Chains A and B, each alone.
Chain A
C-alpha cells in the first residue's frame, strides 16, 4: 500500500478530468481475437484500442455476443489475443495474475468448499509468503466487509444469488488486486439486490481510497451510468469494435434515487439508448 501514491478522491464533476492525468492502469493495444470453429475462423473483436486510467471505473456495454466478454478476457488473461497486446500495471498480460481480481458472471464458487474456504484457498495461493494467521485475518476482514461473516461456514448451495455474488466479490478483493474485473456480475440478480450490490461495490471501492481500477461488462444502461466514469459502447459482432466511449461526468458520491432526475443522467441515458438501439420501434419488414 505504501508504495502507491495516494490519490485524492474525486467528488465533483470538474475534478473528473483529473482522472485523465493519472497513470494508465490498463492499455489495450490493437487487440484482435479470433476463434477456430468448425465453420471456419470467427473473429470476435477486431483492432481494439482502449486506455483505462488508475482508479477509473469503466463499463463495457453492448448487445449479447458483441465480444465485450472476449475483450474482458484478454484483460484478465483468460483469453489470449490473436494479435495485439494488453498491458496491465506496466506489464504485458500473458495469463491471469494476482494483480487482476476477477468476479465471474456465475459466481464460480467451488460448491464443496465453505464460504470461508472459498476465499481462503484464493488468498492462500496468492499470498504464499504470509503466515496462516495473516491469511486468516485477510479472509475474516473481507468476509466482514461484505457482511457475510456469520455465514462463513455455509456451503455456496445454501446461499442466495446476492450472497454468492458478495462472496465472489470478497474473494476478488481479498487478493487485493489493483484491477478488478467484473464480468456481468449482477446479471443474474433481481433489481432490488442488484441496487444494493451497486452501493456495496462502490463502498468497497471508496474504502480502498478509490485506488482500484474497475472494469465491468454489463448490458444494463442504468447500472453502467450509476457506477462508471466512462462507458465503452461496442458494435455488434462479429469483428466487433468500439462504437463510442461515453463519459459520465456525474459527481461522486452518486445517490441512486436522486441521480435519475439529474439532466446529465437523462441526457447520457438517452445517448446510450440511441447508441445501443438504432431503431426505437419494431417495423414490419
Chain B
C-alpha cells in the first residue's frame, strides 16, 4: 500500500522526465539529420547558460542581455493588453447586456477579429509615428477580441434567477452592474483575459521582428542575422516558459474568483 502511494506521488515527476527525454530526443535527432545545422541540446545549453549568467548587461542599443529584451517585451505586452482590456471589458458588458448594442457592434467584431494583428502595424506607425507605439498598438488590438467576446458571453448568460432578485428588490442600475453583472461575468472575463494574454504573447514576437529595437522578438531576428541558432533556440525556450507562466498566473486568478 505504501509502495503504491509512493509510486503515485512520483508519477507526475516520471512523466515530466519522460516529456523532457522525448523533446531532447526529437531535438537531437533533427540536429543529427541536419548535420548540426540545427544545434543540438548540448551546444544550445552552453549558449543558454551564458545568456542566463549575465541577463541584464547593456553594451549599447544593439547588444543587451536577455533579461532586458524580455523585460521590454513584457512591458509592451502589458501596456497593450492593459489598454485593450480597459476597452474590451466595458464594451463586452455593454454588448452582453443590450441586444441593440450587440446587433450594432457584433458585425464589426466579427469582421475585425480574424484579421492578423500585424495588419494593423502600418496604421499604428501612422498614428504614433514610431515603431514603439505601433507595437503596443497591435498588442492592444490583439487583446481586444477574446476578452470582448468572453465578457459579452458571460453577461448574456446571466440566469433569470439573478435578474429576478435585482428586479424584485428594485436594484438600481449601478447596483445591478456592480453586484450582479460583474460578479457573475467575472470568471468569463478572466477566461477572456487569459486567452488575450496568450495571443498577445504570441503576437509580440512577430511584432518586434517588424519593429526592431529591444525585445525578445527582435532578439530572435537579430540572432538569425548573426547566424546564432543556439540563441534562437534558447529564445524559443524562454518565450515558451514565459508564456506558460503568464497562463498559469491567469489560471490561478480564474480559480481564485470562481464561485459556486
Contacts and interface: CB of A to CB of B under 8 A. Distances in A.
- Is chain B found bound to chain A in the same assembly? yes
B139 to A, nearest CB: 31
B162 interface: yes
A191 B229 CA distance: 74
B170 A97 contact: yes
Contact of B168 (A78, A109, A110): A78
Interface size class of A (residues with CB under 8 A): 20 to 34
Contacts of B164: 78, 102, 104, 108
Interface string A89-119: 0000001111000101010111111000000
B43 interface: no
Query: What is the interface of chain A mostly: helix, strand, loop, or mixed?
Result: loop
Contact of A98 (B167, B170, B184): B170
A125 interface: yes
Contacts of B167: 78, 95-96
Contact of A110 (B170, B172, B183): B183
A125 B183 contact: no
Contact of A102 (B168, B172, B260): B168
B171 interface: yes
Given A108-B162, A155-B259, A157-B259, A121 B168 contact: no
Contact of A112 (B161, B175, B183): B183
A106 B168 CA distance: 14
B58 to A, nearest CB: 47
Contacts of A71: none
Interface string B163-188: 01101111110010001100110000
A76 B183 CA distance: 26
Interface in B60-89: none
B170 A76 contact: no
Contacts of A98: 169-170
Contacts of A126: 169-170
A112 B170 contact: no
Interface string B104-127: 000000000000000000000000
Contacts, number: 55
Contacts of B161: 104, 106, 108
A108 B167 CA distance: 12
A125 B171 contact: yes
Contacts of B169: 96, 98, 121-122, 125-126, 171, 175
Contacts of B171: 121, 125
B260 A157 contact: yes
Given A104-B161, A106-B161, A121-B175, A111 B168 contact: no
Nearest to A106: B161
A117 to B, nearest CB: 8
Nearest to A101: B168
B260 A110 contact: no
B179 A113 contact: yes
Contact of B179 (A97, A109, A121, A155): A121
Contacts of A155: 259
Interface in B166-213: 167-172, 175, 179-180, 183-184
Contacts of A76: 168
Given A104-B161, A110-B183, A96 B168 contact: yes
Interface in A146-174: 155, 157, 171
Contacts of B260: 111, 157
A112 B259 contact: yes
A125 B172 contact: yes
A125 B175 contact: yes
Contacts of A124: 175
Contacts of B179: 110, 113, 121
B180 A110 contact: yes
Q: Sorted from nearest, which 5 A-B pairs have the closest CB atoms? A: A122-B169, A112-B183, A102-B168, A112-B259, A108-B161
Given A96-B170, A121-B169, A124-B175, 15 more contacts: A96-B169, A102-B164, A102-B168, A104-B168, A108-B161, A108-B165, A110-B183, A111-B259, A113-B179, A121-B171, A122-B169, A125-B171, A126-B169, A155-B259, A171-B169
5 contacts: A96-B168, A96-B170, A102-B168, A108-B161, A110-B179
